[in-house]
Amino acid sequence: MGDGPHPGDVTTMAAAATAATGNPATDFSVALLSAFVRNGVRDLVVSPGSRSQALALAAAELERSGSARLHVRIDERSGGFLALGLARETKAPAVVITTSGTATANLHPAVLEAHEAGIPLIVVTGDRPEELRGIRSNQTTQQDGLYASAVRWSDDVDAPTGAPSEGERAVALAEAAVRAAVGADSADPGPVHLNVAFREPLSVAVPELPEQPTGVLPSVAGPEALGRTVVDIDGGRRTVVVAGADAGPRAEEFAREGGFPLIAEVSSGSHFGPNLVVSYRDLLRDEVFGGAVERAVVFGHPTLSREVPLLLTREGIELIVVAPTGGQAYNPGHRARIVGGVRAGSDIDVRSPEVRGWVGRWVFASRRLAEQAEREADPAAVAPDVEKARSFEPADALAFASAELAAIRAPITRALLAEAVWRYTWPHDRLVLGASRLIRDVDRIVPGKKITVHANRGLAGIDGTIATATGIALASQAAARAAETPSGVTRVLLGDLALLHDVGSLLVGAGEAVPHLQVIVGNDGGGTIFDGLEVAGTAPAQAFDRVLYTPQSVDFAALASAYGWPHRVARTKGELDQALSAPPAGVSILEIPLTR
């Protein structure tokens, strides 16, 4: 079923899915959602509302029958980003269902992020029928076309009337929505929108349904659907590989194949391997290194430094962007050559002195800079002299014990926090990085490690960080249980303002699955990311604090208690290590006070 249902199967499938209750809204909703399941959708996210009640009740019955996983959130913005997190982790579309009116607008931030990041997301909004539109009917607005160019496909579905053909229509709509969301024909995955009108009576009880067969998602179309080819990259020019958000492991593999230095952001999925250059910012500013680059091959969406865009827009740089999917490719300076894939040319010998010398200079210089930065940023992090621990001299033993105690009691800096979170994250875990100052701290210092890192870098907003992380945690841990493999913890590292912006996502309702999720909040009292921008040196201090830094003094312990989340504060390295090494079961908040 990898290509979806065949036309000859539609009538049979529609008949099997239709509940035949005599209520058009319920029958159509059951047929539509059942068809989603048979086309590979597993997760349904619902926010309560009157106009969408038939869809919500059908989703509940599909959960009861074991056909789908249902997630309920009272806040549509939280629900949208929860669905985004589920889809981001599983690579399969999640369906998010809302009622009419402002509920539909609350999904817009998640739709925009899905659009820019190429995440498959299916939005199903309930609406008034034609006769109630344009007359100022209650909770009625222009929902058709609401998300405009941010969706890959949309349809304004007339209110079902109970006609015999409506089951077939529901199946066809579900198949079209899934194919558009995953980019089965376009190679451009992203959000889609079904705006479904319903007339009263809006629902009846849904009869018990048998478990629906879980379908296989259609495959994403290859880059040829976009007119992009796979090209050979020769060894004639001094080349670096740049991996931005969601680049994936192919960037690291290609860097090894060609013997190229790898500049991989921490959210790229390629921040590992022997060619990784961690201290790329410093080296790109150095004329000996950055000035020597003649060609850059870019994967993903670079967003975490100024140095990379400056390199890519520099005159004389040959710029090749690898974009096997996505209609709009990353194209700084509007001069990139957009290709569907790359191979290392046959003329490249990675064992040659020239190739090894080029990549080796970058890697070794990066390591020296990283070690120097660690010593300067955190002198207490220098390990105690182990030889003194083995000494029989009382003075040596005392010196070792004092040094060990000092290291444990060392105050937490941003660098220490970034390093510790990275160190305690393993391949079976998930790490989610919010759009706060901390993601840049992590990107600057952490060594290579092949772990799964997620971040919403499509638009790099702070919206929905906790909701996204919750979706990632639920999906990854469910997959681990199904495969009978170790189920890790999902950690989300974010700033205090990012947590407060999505505080409603701390609410997990009765009956909802609770993931193993540790929210680590670096609390520096406001938006210190702005302290590093030029405006901090030009704006009056009072105005700067008021409209940019936006100071806050929230009691995070009380906030956590209100939502029923365990809360802990870590002020020293020892306390941080203890909290990260053994996070409590379920959800929890770990607060790290940081200086501005």
Same structural domain, 227 and 177: no
**Is there a single domain that holds both residue 96 and residue 164?**
yes
Query: Contact at 8 Å (CB) between 492 and 393?
Result: no
| Judgement on whether residues 232 and 354 belong to the same structural domain of the protein | yes
> Is the pLDDT confidence value at 16 over 90?
no
Question: Domain containing 279 — which CATH number?
Answer: 3.40.50.1220
Same domain, 307 and 394: no
Q: Which residue reads 């967003």 in tokens? A: 303
> How many of the other CB atoms lie within 10 Å of CB of 61?
22
CA distance 232 to 235: 10
Least confident of 136-150, 398-412, 416-430: 398-412
Residue 390 shares a structural domain with residue 355:
no
- Cβ-count burial 465-481 (b if 16+ within 10 Å, e if not): bbbbbbbbbbbbbbeee
My answer on whether 295 and 430 are in the same domain is no
Q: Give the residue from 162, 181, 197 where a domain finishes.
A: 197
Structure tokens at 496: 């205090």
Closest CA to 497 of 547, 554, 419: 554
Q: Is residue 63 part of a domain?
A: yes
Residue 215 lies in a domain: no
| 319, 298 contact by CB (below 8 A) | yes
Mind listing the pLDDT tens digit for each residue in 221-235? 999 999 999 999 999
In a domain, 91, yes or no: yes
Q: What domain range includes position 270? A: 223-366
Mean pLDDT for 123-134 is: 92
* Residue type, position 329, single letter: A
User: What's residue 401's pLDDT?
Assistant: 65
Model-level pTM greater than 0.85? yes
The number of domains in the chain is 4
User: Which backbone phi and psi does 588 adopt, to 5 degrees?
Assistant: -160, 160
CB neighbours of residue 334 within 10 Å: 6
pLDDT of residue 139: 87
Residue 207 domain flag: no
State whether 461 and 574 are in the same domain: yes
Residue 1 has what pLDDT? 34
For residue 4, pLDDT beyond 80: no
Q: 146: domain CATH number?
A: 3.40.50.970
According to DSSP, the β-strands at 430-433 and 453-454 are parallel
> Based on the domain organization, do 322 and 228 belong to the same domain?
yes
Q: Whole-angstrom Cα distance, residue 415 to residue 419?
A: 6
> What number of residues does the chain have?
596
Rounded to whole angstroms, how far apart are CA atoms 62 and 56? Answer: 10
In a domain, 509, yes or no: yes
Query: Do 351 and 445 belong together in one domain?
Result: no
- Considering the domain architecture, whether residues 275 and 171 belong to the same structural domain is answered as no
Mean pLDDT of 447-458: 97
Write the pLDDT tens digit of every residue in 151-190: 999 999 999 999 999 999 999 999 999 999 999 999 999 9
Tell me the C-alpha distance between 392 and 533, whole Å.
53
pLDDT at position 393: 73
- One domain, residues 481 and 396: no
Query: Within 10 Å of residue 224's Cβ, how many Cβ atoms?
Result: 12
- Cβ contacts of 570 within 8 Å, gap of 6 or more: 412, 576, 578, 579, 590, 591, 592
**496 SS3 class:** helix
Query: Residues of 301-332 as b/e, b for ≥16 C-beta within 10 angstroms?
Result: bbbbbebbeebbeeeebbbbbbbbbbeebbeb
Report residue 246 as tokens: 């969601």
Say if residue 32 is in the same domain as residue 142: yes
In a domain, 343, yes or no: yes
Find, among 253, 283, 248, 231, the residue nearest to 350 by Cα. Answer: 253
* Residue 2: inside a domain: no
pLDDT digits (tens, 9 = 90+) for 359-386: 999 999 999 998 887 766 555 555 556 6
Q: Does residue 1 lie in a domain region?
A: no
pLDDT at position 2 over 50: no
pLDDT greater than 90 at residue 348: yes
**Percentage of residues in the chain having pLDDT higher than 90:** 85
Instruction: Mark which of 179, 197, 215 sits at the end of a domain.
Output: 197
> What pLDDT sits at residue 406?
65
